[in-house]
């Protein structure tokens, strides 16, 4: 599981949550919308990376 999440990912996630905590979602500026979109893309790619790594680790080859 160490491959799936490194220190930079943890820092990005903590900073994102800290910034999201202070956002006023009823009055988003253009900068806020760009930030939310960028984080959404990062999160999606992070999930895809975890799925690929876990599939390689636990999927294995079933050649019999």
Q: State how far the Cα of 39 lies from the Cα of 12, in Å rounded to an integer.
A: 9
Could you give the 3-state DSSP secondary structure of residue 33? Answer: helix
User: What dihedral angle (degrees, nearest 10) is formed by the CA atoms of 53, 58, 63, 64?
Assistant: 180
Q: What is the pLDDT of residue 4?
A: 64
Q: What is the pLDDT of residue 64?
A: 46
Tell me the pTM.
0.73
Q: What is the pLDDT of residue 56?
A: 84
Q: What is the pLDDT of residues 7-59, one digit of tens each?
A: 888 898 899 999 889 888 899 999 989 999 999 999 999 999 888 888 888 87
Q: State how far the Cα of 12 lies from the Cα of 34, in Å rounded to an integer.
A: 16
Residue 3 predicted with pLDDT over 90: no
């Amino acid at each position: 599981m160490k491959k799936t999440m490194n220190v930079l990912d943890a820092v990005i996630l903590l900073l994102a949550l800290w910034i999201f905590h202070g956002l006023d979602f009823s009055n988003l500026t253009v900068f806020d919308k760009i930030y939310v979109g960028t984080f959404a893309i990062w999160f999606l790619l992070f999930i895809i990376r975890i799925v690929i790594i876990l599939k390689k680790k636990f999927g294995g080859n079933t050649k019999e």
